[in-house]
Amino acid sequence: MRTVLPALAAVASALTAPLFLGPYGHYLLCMAAIYAMVALSLGLLLGLGGQISIGHAGFWAVGAYGSAILVQKLALPFLLSLLASGLLAGLVGLLVALPALRVRGHYLAIATLGFSLVIVHILYEWDGLTGGRQGMFVSRPSLFGHELGSDFQAYYLILAVLALFVWIVVNLRRSLGGLSLSALRLSDVAAQSCGVNRAGATLFVFALSAAITGVSGAFYGAILGQLSTDSFTLVVSLSFLTMAIVGGLNSVVGALLGGIFLAYAPEVLRAFEQWQMFIYGALLVAFMHFLPDGLASLPRRLARIGRRGDA
Amino acid sequence: MTWLPLLLSGLAVGSIYALIGLALVIINKATDVVNFAQGEIAMFGTFVALSALNAAGLPVIVVLLLALPCGFLLGALLELVFIKPISDGPPLNVLIVTLGLFFMFNSLAGIVWGFDPYRFPSLFPTEPIAVAGAAVSPASLGIIAVTLVLMAALYLFFEHSRYGTAMRAASMNPFAARLMGIKVGRVATVSWGLAAGLSVVSGILIAPLTFVDQQMMISIILKGFAGAILGGFTSLPAAAAGCLLLGVTEAYVGTLATSTLKDSFAFALIILVLMLRPGGLFVKVARRKV
C-alpha cells in the first residue's frame, strides 16, 4: 500500500496536469517527459551498470536526426521512425561500448565524449542529409496517420512511451540480467567467476541505454519542430548527467524527478535574470551536500527528520 | 625550416594543455574526481589578474609570480568549503559539485566583468626572433620555458621533498598513509591549491594570445583532460607528455584541415589509442589475474 498509493497519485497527476495548463505548460510537460527518458537511460547505465557516459547528447542526436530523416526523406510513419531511431541509436551505442570493454572511469568518460563530438561533427558536415549549418525542419509527431498537432496531444503519446520504458527498466532491474549487471558493478571479478558474461552485459546495457535516449531524441526533434547540431553539445551531455544524479540514480522515481528538474529549473530561475546560471550552480552544490542520494530520497529524509522531531 | 615555428607553437599550446592536465591529475589523485571547474578557476583568476594589472598598475611579471600563491589560496578554500564536507560520499556527487562550481564561476565572471572580450598585455616581446633561419615567436618560447620550470619544480617537489612524498603516499594508500601520521585530509586541500595555482598560471600565459573572456578556458580544459588521458591519467609525467603530444599533433593537423575537423580528429585519435592502450600511451596497465 505504501508504494501503490504514491504511484497512483503520480500517474493521476501526470495524466490530469495538462488539463490545467496552457500550450507553454504542455510544451514543458513534453520536455520533462523527454528528459525523464534520458535520465532513465542514464540511471540504467550508471546506477545499474556502473558505466559513465558524458556523451549521451550524441545518442540523442542520432535518434533526433535519424527519426527526422526517415520521416522527411522516406515518408516513414512516425511510430516506425521512433522504433528505427531507437534501433539506430542502440547500434551506435554498441559501437561506443567497444572502448568500455577495455577502459573504465575517466578513460571511458573521455571516450564517450569523443564519440559524441565526432557523431555531432559528422551530422554537421553531412549537409545533404541533415541541412548542416542551417539545420532541418521536423514534422510533428503522428499516430496512425493522424498528426498530433498540439503538444497537448503529443504529451500523451510521449507519456505512454515513457511508461513503457519505466516498465522495461523496473523489470530489468529485477531480472537475472539486471542482477548480473549489479554484480558486475560491485565486483566484476566475482561476477565473472559466477558465470556472468561481462562483455555481453556491458554491450547490452550500453545499447539499451543508447536506444532509450535515441527514442527520446526522436521526440525532442518532433516537438521542437527543427533541429540544429547546437542542441547536442557537451553542455547538454553534462546537464543530462546532472539531472540523473540530482534526481537519484538508483530508482525510476529519481529519473522522473530528474527530468522534471531539468525542464523546470531554467523556467523557475529565469526570474533571477543574470544570476540565473549562478543560482543553478549553487543549487547543484546544495543538492549534493544536503540530498546526496538525489531528490528521490527526499521523502525518506523528511520522514527521518519527522521521527527525530517526535522523539 | 618551416617545421620549427609550427613545432614550437604546437608545444606552446601543448604546454597550456599540460598545465591544466597536470592540475586535473593532481586533483584526481587526491579527490578521485575530474574537476570540471578547473578551467573556470583559471579564467576567474585571469580576470582577477587583469583587474590587478589595470587597477593597481602592477608590472606583468609580478602578476605572473603572484598567480601561483593566490591561485593556491583560492583552490584550497574551494576544497575546504565545497569538497571536504562531501568527500566521503560517492565520487559522482563530487563531480556534480565541480559542475556546479563551473556554472558559478562562469556566470560570476560574466556578472562582474561583462561578456565582452578584454585584451591582456603581452608577457613577452612581440617581435619574432630568428632561430636557425626561421621566425619564432618569443611568446611560444616563453610559455614553453615557464611550463618547463613549473614541471621541474613539481618533479622536485613530488619526488624529493618530504611533503611531496607524503602526498604520493596518501594517493597510493590513504589508510596506510594515515597510519604513518600523514594528514590525508590536508593533502586534498593542498592538492586543490596546487592545481588551482597551476591553472591560474596557464590562464595568464594563454590570455595575451587569445582574449580574456568568460569562455576562454572551455575548450582548453577539454583538451587538457583529453591530453592527460592520452598520455595516462594516473601519472603526472605521462599526462604532461600526452598534452604536449596533443598540442603538436593539432598544430600539424591544423595546417591541413579546418578547426572543427581538428577537434574531431584529435578525439578520434584518442579513442583509437585507448582501444589499443587502455591506460594511456605512456602508462602500462598491469594485467589483472584472478
Distance from CA of B277 to the nearest CA of A (A): 9
Partner residue facing B278 (CB), from A52, A103, A274: A103
Residues of chain A with Cβ-Cβ distance to B88 below 8 Å are none
Contact B167, B194 (CB under 8 A): no
Query: What is the tens place of the pLDDT at every residue in B71-90?
Result: 999 999 999 999 999 888 88
DSSP A171-201: HHHHSHHHHHHHHHHH-HHHHHHTT--HHHH
CB-CB neighbours of B235 under 10 Å: 18
Helix (H) or strand (E) holding A214: helix A198-224
Do the chains contact at A107 and B233, CB–CB below 8 Å? yes
Under the banding of pLDDT at 50, 70 and 90, the label for residue A311 is very low
Partner residue facing A118 (CB), from B102, B264, B275: B264
DSSP B220-278: HHHHHHHHHHHH-TT-HHHHHHHHHHHHHHHHHHHHHS-HHHHHHHHHHHHHHHHHH-T
Interface of B with A in 47-86 (CB under 8 A): 82, 85-86
A284: nearest CA partner in chain B: B100
Interface of B with A in 209-248 (CB under 8 A): 222, 225-226, 229, 233
Distance from CA of B123 to the nearest CA of A (A): 32
CB-CB neighbours of A121 under 10 Å: 18
Do the chains contact at B94 and A99, CB–CB below 8 Å? no
Question: Residues 6 or more apart from A114 whose CB is under 8 A from it?
Answer: A55, B226, B267, B268, B270, B271
In angstroms, the CA A34 to CA A30 distance is: 6
Report the pLDDT value the prediction gives residue B289, as an integer from 0 to 100.
58
Partner residue facing A277 (CB), from B86, B103, B290: B103
Contact A223, A60 (CB under 8 A): no
Looking up cell 625550416, which residue turns up?
Answer: B1
A191: nearest CA partner in chain B: B290
Contact B255, A95 (CB under 8 A): no
Partner residue facing B104 (CB), from A99, A189, A281: A281
Residues A129-139 have a mean pLDDT of 77
Residues B225-242 have a mean pLDDT of 90
Ramachandran category for residue A291: left, alpha or beta (phi over 0 → left; psi -120 to 50 → alpha): beta
- Listed range (A134-138, B160-164, B223-227) with the worst mean pLDDT: A134-138
A194 contact B CB<8A = no
Report the pLDDT value the prediction gives residue B258, as an integer from 0 to 100.
67
Residues A78-82 have a mean pLDDT of 88
In angstroms, the CA B275 to CA B245 distance is: 18
Residue A74 pLDDT > 70? yes
Partner residue facing B86 (CB), from A103, A124, A288: A288
- How many alpha carbons fall within 13 Å on the CB side of residue A117? 26
Report the pLDDT value the prediction gives residue B149, as an integer from 0 to 100.
94
ipTM of the complex: 0.85
Do the chains contact at B111 and A275, CB–CB below 8 Å? yes
In angstroms, the CA B18 to CA B223 distance is: 9
Do the chains contact at B274 and A277, CB–CB below 8 Å? no
Residue B275 pLDDT > 90? no
B90: nearest CA partner in chain A: A292
Residues of chain B with Cβ-Cβ distance to A102 below 8 Å are 274-275, 278
- DSSP character at residue A46: I
Tell me the domain boundaries of chain B: 3-216
Tell me the domain boundaries of chain A: 22-233
Under the banding of pLDDT at 50, 70 and 90, the label for residue B252 is confident
B34 contact A CB<8A = yes
CA B81 centroid distance within chain: 22
Distance from CA of A119 to the nearest CA of B (A): 9
Do the chains contact at A107 and B261, CB–CB below 8 Å? no
Contact A219, A17 (CB under 8 A): no
Residues of chain A with Cβ-Cβ distance to B34 below 8 Å are 106, 109
In angstroms, the CA B280 to CA B43 distance is: 28
In angstroms, the CA B60 to CA B201 distance is: 12
In angstroms, the CA B151 to CA B248 distance is: 18
Exposed/middle/buried for A311, CB within 10 Å: 0-12, 13-18, 19+? exposed
**pLDDT more than 70, % of chain A:** 98
Comparing CA positions, the residue from A222, A162, A196, A195 lying closest to residue A11 is A162
Partner residue facing A193 (CB), from B222, B274, B290: B290
B232: nearest CA partner in chain A: A107
Contact B220, B39 (CB under 8 A): yes
Report the pLDDT value the prediction gives residue B93, as an integer from 0 to 100.
87
Comparing CA positions, the residue from B4, B14, B6 lying closest to residue B206 is B14
A9 contact B CB<8A = no
Averaged pLDDT score across all residues of chain A: 85
Exposed/middle/buried for A198, CB within 10 Å: 0-12, 13-18, 19+? middle
Residues A165-194 have a mean pLDDT of 88
Residues of chain A with Cβ-Cβ distance to B106 below 8 Å are 277, 281
Partner residue facing A245 (CB), from B93, B233, B280: B93
B272 contact A CB<8A = no
- Listed range (A29-38, A49-58, A68-77, A140-149) with the worst mean pLDDT: A140-149
In angstroms, the CA A135 to CA B81 distance is: 44
Report the pLDDT value the prediction gives residue A2, as an integer from 0 to 100.
61
